[in-house]
């Protein structure tokens, strides 16, 4: 499981027919201690995430498995919304603490 923060949306006037009706979001991958890592990426949204949500996501072949058409041309997919993060040394963090 990889963590990310939703930082934007994508509007596409043309896309593969298997992606019609599927929301595309821009996510910023995060490290285990919730710091930005790497460049933002576009991911399909299978869980109705929104701006500033902390999400978990998957990449590669597994990403397309969240869609009805599992052969859709997808590189990344949001697979869940994270409510809390438990870091053994830091205790339980809620979303407001994470994104202050």
The chain-wide mean pLDDT, for the chain, equals 86
Per-residue model confidence as pLDDT tens digits over 56-85: 999 988 888 888 788 889 999 999 999 988
> What parts of the chain have a pLDDT lower than 50?
none
- Find the domain containing 38 and state its range: 2-98
Q: How distant is the alpha carbon of residue 7 from its chain centre?
A: 10
Number of domains in the chain: 1
pLDDT for the residue numbered 84: 83
55-83 burial by CB neighbour count: b if 16+ within 10 A, else e? bebbeeeebbebbeeeebebebbbbeebe
90: CATH? 2.40.50.220
Instruction: Give CA 79 to chain center in angstroms.
Output: 7
């Amino acid at each position: 499981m990889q963590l990310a923060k939703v930082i934007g949306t994508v509007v596409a006037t043309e896309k593969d027919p298997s992606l019609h009706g599927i929301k595309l979001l821009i996510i910023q991958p995060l490290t285990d201690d919730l710091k930005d890592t790497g460049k933002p990426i576009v991911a399909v949204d299978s869980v109705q995430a929104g701006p500033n949500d902390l999400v978990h996501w998957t990449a590669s072949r597994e990403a397309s498995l969240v869609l009805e058409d599992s052969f859709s041309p997808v590189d990344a997919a949001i697979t869940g919304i994270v409510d809390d993060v438990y870091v053994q040394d830091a205790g339980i963090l809620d979303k407001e603490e994470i994104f202050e």
